[in-house]
Each structure stands twice: as structure tokens, then as C-alpha cells.
Amino acid sequence: MQAHPAAQDDDMWYVITEGPMKILKANNDVAITEGAPHRLEKLQDEWTTEDKRKVNLDNVAKDILYKTLDKVTFSKIKMCRTAKEFWEKLIQLCEGNDQTKENKLSLAVQKFDNIKMKIGESMHDYDERISGIINELNALGKVYSNKEIALKVVRGLPKE
């Protein structure tokens, strides 16, 4: 029986964020006192086709993630053993640690505070620059209200 595509997506994301799946079965030798039964890992010769698919998801996830990278990034990540390690390393490389995120946020706030329309710049280009900075700020967790953004746009316009 084939798993539903949405379930496969959930399983894939689980493997990326939580690590390789363990195939478990109920341990009937232990009495159930409260809640769910005690579980233990299935032996490999007990695996169903679905169990084998789930165990292989870590390899599939790593393969998909590897194929999305350029050579430089791949060289920094290729030693990761699991999709979860890969994902965590990729987040660290792309987003940085807390200090890096703080620095990026400070720079983005400074860009927003200091933005002015350049001489000869079209309104469209000015709007594009502001939108880029706002998107950067949003990605870093800083959100400005529409009123704050409108005031910044107006204040950044030349006096003429």
C-alpha cells in the first residue's frame, strides 16, 4: 500500500527536522498501565515495504538537498551524515549564529532609517529599494507598520 503524498511530505520534513526515522513496534511483553503501549525498534527482517521507505527517507532528503547546492556550499556540507545535520548546517551557513543575525538586523534597520530617494531615481526604483529592505527586515523578524513605512517613503523623497 502506497503512502498518501501529503503523508510522504510530512515524513520527509520530519526526517529533515528531527532526524532519521526509527521503525518501532508495540512491545507486547510490557503491560500497558497508562496511555500508549511501550515501543521498541523493529528488527530489519520485520520491516514492511512502508517501513523500508521511511528508513530510506533520510537518504532521499539528503539527495534532494545536495542537488540544490552550488559547489562551494556543497563542499561545506558534504560531511554531514544525516539530513537533519545537513539542514542545521545549511541554516547556520545561510542565517548565521545569533550574533550574525543581530548584525544583519542592525544593518538592515540602519539602511531603512537612512534611505532617501537618489537624484534622478524613478519612483519605481525607489519603491523597489524600499521593498527590498522591508523584505530583508521581515525575514530577520523586524516588522514595520504600513504607517511607519509610508512616513519613511515620504520623508525620503527629495524636497522638490
> Tens of pLDDT along 9-33?
788 899 999 999 999 888 777 666 6
- Residues 121 and 83: their CA atoms lie apart, in Å, by 46
Q: What digits encode the pLDDT tens for the residues 59-112?
A: 999 999 889 888 988 898 889 999 999 999 988 887 777 778 888 889 999 999
Output the CA torsion sign for 70, 20, 17, 54: positive
pLDDT above 90 for 126 = yes
- Residues 134 and 41: their CA atoms lie apart, in Å, by 49
Cα angle 14, 10, 3; round to 5? 120
- pTM for this one? 0.55
pLDDT above 90 for 160 = no
Asked whether 21 and 11 are in contact (CB, 8 A), the reply is yes
Could you state, in order of their start, the residue ranges of all structural domains in the chain? 5-95, 98-155
HSE (CB half, 13 Å, CA atoms) of 64? 14
What is the mean pLDDT of the segment spanning 37-57? 90
Q: For cell 530617494, what's the residue?
A: 117
pLDDT-derived band at 1, boundaries 50, 70, 90: very low
